Amino acid sequence: MERISRLVGSTLARHLLVAALGMVVVVMALTAVSDFRRFQLAEMACLAIAAGGLTVLTGLNGQLSLGHGALMAVGTYTTALLLPDRDASTPLVLVVLISVCTATLVGALVGVAAARLHGPYLAGATLALAVAVPGLALHFRETLGGEQGIPVVAPPPPGWAEDATYFLTASDLTPRGWIAFLAWSTLILSFLLLANLSHSRVGRRWRAVRDDPVAAELAGIVVGRSRVSAFMVSAAAAGAAGSMLALVVRLAAPGSFTLALSLTLIAAVVLGGLGSLTGALLGAALLTFLPQFVTQIGRDAGLDDVRAAELAPLVYGLVMVLVILLAPGGLFGVIRGALTRRRARRALAARSVEASTSTRPDPDSPPDEQLTDPSGDHRTATTTEGAPR
Amino acid sequence: MSKQPTASRPSPGSTGASRVAELELDRVTVRFGGLVALSDAALTVRPHTVHGVIGPNGAGKTTLFNVACGFVRPDEGQILRRGEHLTRLRPSDLPGLGMARTLQGLGLFDRVTVLDNVMIGADRHARTGFWASALAWPTSGREERALRERALGALAELGIADLAPLVAGSLPYPLRKKVALARALVGEPELLLLDEPASGLAADEIDDLGELVRGLTDRMAVLLVEHHMDLVMRICDDITVLDFGRVIAHGPPEQVRNDPAVLEAYLGEDV
């Protein structure tokens, strides 16, 4: 009995269970839907992997990056260069790993610079990255293919995967189905690692640096190193996302990595709830499927195609404004915030009944404000500056 | 990491070695531009004592503290920990040196739980590396449990174990103050630096605090900056008085209380 409770209490066992369940759901969903939906789902997985990395950086460590699209581009181009044609001999796993490593390396460089910046300066610096990296592709036209980009030849599904699919579903495994499966497997693996980190000593130290760098330093944390490590982890996720994106869209071109992509990632993270992986997944799903859904509704309501297409950005913006107004903690933050607040109120009530001593409120802020959802405030992006108080 | 003195400490009863000061500031001078914040300031914290630093506003108390923590590097003078020079001291070296400091503004990690706050304070006892964390290796789980026990122990000692699962930012001020103290104590420092521990507390809470700090002396030495004269006079073994960055008096409370220089410095001050 105790063994079971200990197993449930173990972070790894809990996360592995969720990952396994997720894998089952993914396989079932991918076999049930059309090939076009598989493509969309694969795109969503790429967005979610990068958003997961970004939510760790912004939500847990308090660093804002407007340049994660650029880090994805690093992953995509690395993959594209390693898979030049059908005879490319590098195993796919190795290609993905090398892409992740390259992005991590770039992330480390950016992270070292970022660790010295905060708030709007950090946003500006990473913004420059988002603008500059696609420009590199145009500059090194010979190797990076310029505006046209580099075509990517995705390797065909291996024999065992085809056999397994036929055995399970009595239908053939399409190349798109295979890539979608790969993208979702990568998503689950990277979320497993990110969740482990978030619940570990490493995650706790990241949060400490986010909430109060000075106090974190006094606790023995080297703040700069902690920030760089968060940036590297986040960049690794972006690299994996980029690598998968190369396989999904079969092209590495600068057009895929506009500033809009970086902003979409931020939007996914904010919509879902900063620092929450579930939130990142929700946000990515919303941003992948909402535009199409809205366009369809527009068409059904009798709008012509152009007008229907114009509806999407409108609704997109509306949703964003509504979430920020009504649920600043994001969709997932709403649930968590309510639970936290109730728990705080109950414990304090129990305490005041028990002790019935008068407690004076914090002179700095009214008590009501203090009880608001911790994930619901906006200070994440701006780190408190380092004067000891 | 700077060099870290050996962890073994002589027992209070033994002679000779136990006389080595927990902390010694030797002729420390700090200038901010043209302003001299500290001038030739010196103080010695003896083991197992409470040492108070007082002085009118702007006397340099906080600067002195910041020098002792590595936030401010002195222009002249030295910092010694148990006789060893601390050159290039950085705040992040403190836990390794067996030191802990509380902050005037508390510096709690407001958006995580009380338990997590205190576990960060105990981080000196943790070894789990990056990969063990990412893979949630069994050793990391074991260490997390040990750390949690330690943190809960520190919370229980201050009578706030029931707050462990709450978000630190949601607590009223006196409780937050206790959490900050628990975070400093859980690292089992041999030298504790308290920055205005009584500010914002009610009279009875200050009494409790005094008792608590006195009780700490069998485990550690305490250096504190404080405005509450009653408290300082009651609990300190030694007091150093600063005025305009200079040490104008130091000694046991009864001596400092009647020192003419101290009376003059405080004359007209609302204390």
User: Concatenated DSSP letters for A41-70?
Assistant: HHHHHHHHHHHHHHHIIIIIT----S-HHH
Rounded to an integer, what distance in angstroms lies between the CA atom of residue B89 and that of residue B71? 8
B216 and B92 part of one domain? yes
Burial (CB count within 10 angstroms: exposed 0-12, middle 13-18, buried 19+), residue A88: middle
Q: What is the CATH number of the domain that holds A349?
A: 1.10.3470
B178 and B194 part of one domain? no
B209 and B259 part of one domain? yes
The residue segments making up the domain with residue A284 are 2-381
Minimum mean pLDDT range among A85-94, A267-276, B109-118: A85-94
Quickly list DSSP for chain B. ------S----TTSSSGGGS-SEEEEEEEEEETTEEEEEEEEEEE-TT-EEEEE-STTSSHHHHHHHHHTSS--SEEEEEETTEE-TT--GGGTGGGTEEE--TT----TTSBHHHHHHHHTGGG----HHHHHTT-HHHHHHHHHHHHHHHHHHHHTT-GGGTTSBGGGS-HHHHHHHHHHHHHTT--SEEEEESTTTT--HHHHHHHHHHHHHHTTT-EEEEE-S-HHHHHHH-SEEEEEETTEEEEEE-HHHHHT-HHHHHHHTT---
Q: What is the CATH number of the domain that holds B34?
A: 3.40.50.300
B135 and B78 part of one domain? no
Q: Is residue B157 over pLDDT 80?
A: yes
Q: Is residue B196 over pLDDT 50?
A: yes
Phi, psi of B94 (to 5 degrees): -55, -55
What pLDDT is stored for residue A118 in this prediction? Answer: 80
B54 and B34 part of one domain? yes
In chain A, whose CA is at the least distance from the CA of B184?
A219
Number of domains making up chain B: 2
Rounded to an integer, what distance in angstroms lies between the CA atom of residue B150 and that of residue A284? 40
Q: What is the pLDDT of residues B59-75, one digit of tens each?
A: 889 999 999 999 999 99
B168 and B218 part of one domain? no
Chain A residues whose beta carbon lies within 8 Å of the beta carbon of residue B162: 347, 350-351
- The answer to whether A71 and A242 have CB atoms below 8 angstroms apart is yes
**Cβ contact B92–A217 (<8 Å):** yes
Q: Is residue B269 over pLDDT 70?
A: no
Among B167, B186, B205, residue at a domain's last position: B186
Chain B residues whose beta carbon lies within 8 Å of the beta carbon of residue A218: 69, 91-92, 94, 100-101, 103, 107
Q: Is A8 on the interface with B (CB under 8 A)?
A: no
Q: Is A199 on the interface with B (CB under 8 A)?
A: yes
- CA dist A280 to A272, A345, B212, Å? 5, 29, 46
In chain A, whose CA is at the least distance from the CA of B117?
A208
Rounded to an integer, what distance in angstroms lies between the CA atom of residue A46 and that of residue A48? 5
For residue A386, is it within any domain?
no
What percentage of chain A exceeds 90 in pLDDT?
47
Minimum mean pLDDT range among A79-88, A260-269, B21-30, B155-164: A79-88
Chain A residues whose beta carbon lies within 8 Å of the beta carbon of residue B174: 359-360
**Cβ contact A193–B134 (<8 Å):** yes
The DSSP element (H or E) to which A251 belongs, if any, is strand A251-252
B138 and B258 part of one domain? no
For residue A47, is it within any domain?
yes
For residue A314, is it within any domain?
yes
B194 and B94 part of one domain? yes
Q: Which residue in the set A220, A229, A389 is minimally distant from B124, CB to CB?
A: A220
Q: What is the pLDDT of residues A64-90, one digit of tens each?
A: 999 999 999 999 999 999 987 767 778
What pLDDT is stored for residue A4 in this prediction? Answer: 56
A273: helix, coil or strand? coil
What average pLDDT does range B224-231 have in this prediction? 90
Q: Is residue A136 over pLDDT 70?
A: yes
Among B159, B186, B213, residue at a domain's last position: B186
Interface test with A, best of B111, B116, B147, B176 (most A CBs within 10 A): B111
What pLDDT is stored for residue A172 in this prediction? Answer: 83
With tokens 């802020």, the residue in question is A365
Among B162, B186, B210, residue at a domain's last position: B186
Name which residue leads in pLDDT, A3 or A324.
A324
With tokens 């036209």, the residue in question is A141
Confidence class for position A232, pLDDT limits 50, 70, 90: very high
Rounded to an integer, what distance in angstroms lies between the CA atom of residue B74 and that of residue B67? 6
The residue segments making up the domain with residue B57 are 18-98+189-271
Interface test with B, best of A8, A200, A368 (most B CBs within 10 A): A200
For residue B165, is it within any domain?
yes
Take residue A256 and report the two structure tokens written for it: 């895929």
What percentage of chain B exceeds 70 in pLDDT?
91
Q: Is A218 on the interface with B (CB under 8 A)?
A: yes
Name which residue leads in pLDDT, A255 or B8.
A255
- Please give, rounded to a whole number of angstroms, the shortest distance from the CA of B101 to a CA of chain A: 7
- What pairs with residue A251 in β-bridges? A151
Q: What is the pLDDT of residues A300-348, one digit of tens each?
A: 888 888 888 888 888 878 888 888 888 777 877 777 777 777 777 787 7
In chain B, whose CA is at the least distance from the CA of A350?
B162
What pLDDT is stored for residue B237 in this prediction? Answer: 95
What pLDDT is stored for residue A16 in this prediction? Answer: 93
Interface test with A, best of B137, B145, B170 (most A CBs within 10 A): B170
Q: What is the pLDDT of residues A181-218, one digit of tens each?
A: 999 999 999 999 999 999 999 999 999 999 999 999 99
**Cβ contact B144–A218 (<8 Å):** no
Number of domains making up chain A: 1
Confidence class for position B93, pLDDT limits 50, 70, 90: very high
Taking alpha carbons only, the member of A282, A285, A266, A279 closest to residue A375 is A279
B134 and B205 part of one domain? no
In chain B, whose CA is at the least distance from the CA of A208?
B109
Q: Is A193 on the interface with B (CB under 8 A)?
A: yes
Q: Where are the strands (E) in A68-197, listed by range?
A: 150-151
* ipTM computed for the complex: 0.87
- Please give, rounded to a whole number of angstroms, the shortest distance from the CA of B163 to a CA of chain A: 7
Q: Is residue A237 over pLDDT 60?
A: yes
Taking alpha carbons only, the member of B100, B120, B101 closest to residue B110 is B120
For residue B6, is it within any domain?
no
For residue B73, is it within any domain?
yes
Take residue A275 and report the two structure tokens written for it: 């620092």
Strands B221-225 and B50-54: parallel
Chain B residues whose beta carbon lies within 8 Å of the beta carbon of residue A375: 111
The DSSP element (H or E) to which A252 belongs, if any, is strand A251-252
In chain A, whose CA is at the least distance from the CA of B130?
A202
Taking alpha carbons only, the member of B103, B114, B176, B105 closest to residue B151 is B114
**Cβ contact A374–B169 (<8 Å):** yes
Confidence class for position A272, pLDDT limits 50, 70, 90: confident
Interface test with A, best of B112, B120, B128, B162 (most A CBs within 10 A): B120
B206 and B271 part of one domain? yes
Give A 121-180 residues with CB within 8 A of chain B. Answer: none
- The answer to whether A23 and A188 have CB atoms below 8 angstroms apart is yes
Interface test with A, best of B72, B173, B176, B207 (most A CBs within 10 A): B173
Name which residue leads in pLDDT, A170 or A242.
A242
Phi, psi of B26 (to 5 degrees): -120, 110
- The answer to whether B257 and B266 have CB atoms below 8 angstroms apart is no
Tell me what the pLDDT averaged over chain A comes to: 84
State the DSSP code for A85: S
Quickly list DSSP for A131-143. HHHHHHHHHTHHH
B269 and B194 part of one domain? yes
Chain A residues whose beta carbon lies within 8 Å of the beta carbon of residue B167: 340, 344, 374
Q: Is residue B240 over pLDDT 90?
A: yes
Confidence class for position B18, pLDDT limits 50, 70, 90: low
What pLDDT is stored for residue A369 in this prediction? Answer: 36
Give A 222-241 residues with CB within 8 A of chain B. Answer: 222-223, 229
* CA geometry: angle B255, B256, B261, nearest 5 deg: 120
B48 and B166 part of one domain? no
- Please give, rounded to a whole number of angstroms, the shortest distance from the CA of A192 to a CA of chain B: 8
Tell me what the pLDDT averaged over chain B comes to: 88
- The answer to whether A145 and A252 have CB atoms below 8 angstroms apart is yes
- The answer to whether A248 and A186 have CB atoms below 8 angstroms apart is no
Q: Which residue in the set A212, A340, A348 is minimally distant from B109, CB to CB?
A: A212
For residue B113, is it within any domain?
yes
